[in-house]
Structure 1
Amino acid sequence: MSLYDEGHTIAGWTGFGIATAGSAVAGWGVCAASLPLVVGGLAVVAAGVLVTWVLHLSGWGKPPGVRPREQWGMRVRDARAREGHAGCVSCRLAGRGRRVEERPVAVPGVVSAESIPLSPIE
């Protein structure tokens, strides 16, 4: 059994439902050759993205990765949502912390470009 439990959240399923409805309306607009229906369907899809984002930031969406089994339920809110999730694009867009620090990897035998002088004067 997997420990990741991806997408089993209120935010995920709500966003999926709204985006599915918006895609259906946009598809209906394509079949009916109706530009207002296509635009309306795409607007519903965009609204679904915003609703999912707001639900994720309010704790109803969980970060990717391994979580303890007691946090697998859909009705369990994420207590760490206020601080932001490490490596989460949604949290970074909202200005929440906990960024993943990237450290340069040193490869043996490779000289970095900063250490090579550009001219004999340097």
Structure 2
Amino acid sequence: MSLYDEGHTIAGWTGFGVAAVGSGAVGWGVCTASLPLAGAGLAVVALSLLVTWVLHLAGWGKPPGVRPREQWGIRIRDARAREGHPACMSCRLAGRGREESFVAPAVVPVAESAEPAPLSPIE
């Protein structure tokens, strides 16, 4: 069983619901050849991004990665949201998080061997 619990949050499901309604409106606008309805549906889809982002920043979205099983519940709010999640694009856009957590790891040189590794079993 995986230790990852991706997307099972209030922010994720609310964003999905709003985007599904917007996609339905876009489809209805295309089928009826109604440009205003299709445009309104696209606006609702864009609104779903903002709704998801605001809910994530309010603590109803959780960061990616491994979390303990007791934090898997959908009604459990993330207490670390105010500081920002490491490597979270939503938190970075909001200006949250520690700068050192967003720095790429240093490149470690690999020792070169005398013999090149074979490329295939035939060689």
* Same-fold call, TM cutoff 0.5: yes
1:70, distance to aligned residue in structure 2 (A): 0.6
Match in the other structure for 2:109: 107
Match in the other structure for 2:85: 85
Match in the other structure for 2:33: 33
1:49-64 → structure 2 map (5 Å cutoff): 49-64=49-64
Identity of aligned residues (%): 73
Structure 2 runs not aligned, ≥5 long: 112-123
Match in the other structure for 1:4: 4
Deviations 1:19-41 (A, max 9, x none): 00000000111111111011100
Distance 1:108 1:43 in 2: 50
Deviations 1:74-114 (A, max 9, x none): 000001000000010000000002332213314358xxxxx
The letter of the residue matching 2:64 is: P
Which structure 1 residue ranges, 4+ long, deviate > 3 Å from structure 2? none
Match in the other structure for 1:66: 66
Deviations 1:7-62 (A, max 9, x none): 00000000000000000000111111111011100000111110100000000000
Structure 1 runs not aligned, ≥5 long: 110-122
Match in the other structure for 2:14: 14
Q: TM-score by structure 2 length?
A: 0.84
Q: TM-score by structure 1 length?
A: 0.85
Aligned residues: 110
Match in the other structure for 1:94: 94
99-108 or 71-80: which moved more? Answer: 99-108
Match in the other structure for 2:120: none
What is the alpha-carbon root mean square deviation over aligned residues? Answer: 1.5
